[in-house]
Amino acid sequence: MSNGSSGRLIILSGPSGAGKSTVVRHLLEECDLPLKLSVSATTRSPREGEQHGEHYFFLSDEDFCRLREGGEFLECKEVFGLGYWYGTLREQVTTGLKAGNWVILEIDVQGALALMDDRTLSPITLFIHPGGMKELEQRLRTRGTEIEEAIRARLETAHNEMQHMHRYQFEVINGSVDLAVDEICRILKDHKEKYPCSKS
Ligand code: 5GP
């Protein structure tokens, strides 16, 4: 995807409960780069406090399917095997890159692997996790947003996702949000210094 600008594509993955959303929120506020979060579409219901168009575009199965068939997604996957679909909207990425933004995709491993194989994108890829499965289970249970069946599905997916960590360029352990944010910001700035022009 040639964008003819200084925009970059960043893929951030990691198991559910790794604290990705919190890290991304802080990153957007604190890292001195033109970062922009791509808002994905999903068929899952909003959690308390989540807003349509800000956290996700919450779509019906029919609307999601229509966009999918219309080729509106850069990638889309059924995540956790519970029947919920998530997808990166092509328009979110192209608009951001054209504007010179560093567009962050916070997506699952299946989606990330699909995009890594696309040579036209050249994303910067980061895998974030809390250190181990025990820490992850603790975080998911403390968060208390999922029923037991969903927690088990997320833990099983997490176990599988950890097996793909080596496919990412950078591994970040989220022991403390501040340290993880500093580390990611430094990685991105190092990248900018090393590759002043966008490769995509
Ligand atoms: P949650 O339901 O907790 O917000 O997100 C569940 C999982 O879906 C997370 O691992 C998140 O990274 C992933 N996800 C969110 N948006 C997308 C997307 O557009 N594409 C893919 N493949 N995964 C996504």
CATH number at residue 53: 3.40.50.300
Indicate whether 121 belongs to any domain: yes
Among protein residues, the one with the nearest Cα to ligand 1's atom 18 is 87
Return mean pLDDT, the chain.
92
In short, whether 38's Cβ falls inside 6 Å of ligand 1 is: no
Looking at ligand 1, which atom is closest to the CA of residue 112? 22
Residue predicted with more confidence, 136 or 76: 76
Lowest mean pLDDT among 42-46, 54-58, 156-160: 156-160
Please identify, by atom number, the ligand 1 atom nearest to the C-alpha of residue 15. Answer: 10
Look up the pTM and report it.
Answer: 0.92
Which domain covers residue 139, as residue numbers? 8-193
Specify if 132 maps to a domain.
Answer: yes
Tell me, what's the pLDDT at 200?
54
183 in a structural domain = yes
Q: What is the 3-state secondary structure (H, E, C) of the chain?
A: CCCCCCCEEEEEECCCCCCHHHHHHHHHHHCCCCEEECCCEECCCCCCCCCECCCEEECCHHHHHHHHHCCCEEEEEEECCCCEEEEEEHHHHHHHHHCCCEEEEECCHHHHHHHHCCCCCCCEEEEEECCCHHHHHHHHHHHCCCCHHHHHHHHHHHHHHHCCHHHCCEEEECCCHHHHHHHHHHHHHHHHHHCCCCCC
Is 20 part of a structural domain of the chain? yes
Q: Is residue 198 part of a domain?
A: no
Which ligand 1 atom sits nearest the alpha carbon of residue 114? 22
131 alpha carbon to ligand 1 midpoint, in Å? 20
Q: How far is the CA of 79 from the centre of ligand 1 (A)?
A: 7
Q: Write the residue with the smallest CA distance to atom 10 of ligand 1.
A: 108
Asked if the structure places residue 162 within a domain, the reply is: yes
Residue 15, ligand 1, Cβ within 6 A: no
For residue 173, pLDDT beyond 90 = yes
Q: Indicate if the pLDDT at residue 177 is higher than 50.
A: yes
Total number of domains constituting the chain: 1
Strand 73-79 vs strand 84-89: parallel, antiparallel, or unpaired?
Answer: antiparallel
The answer to whether position 145 is within a domain reads yes
- 104 touches 112 (CB < 8 A): no
Q: Give the position, in ligand 1's atom list, of the atom nearest the Cα of 89.
A: 19
**Out of 71-75, 78-82, 132-136, 173-177, which region has the weakest mean confidence (pLDDT)?**
78-82
Is 161 a domain residue? yes
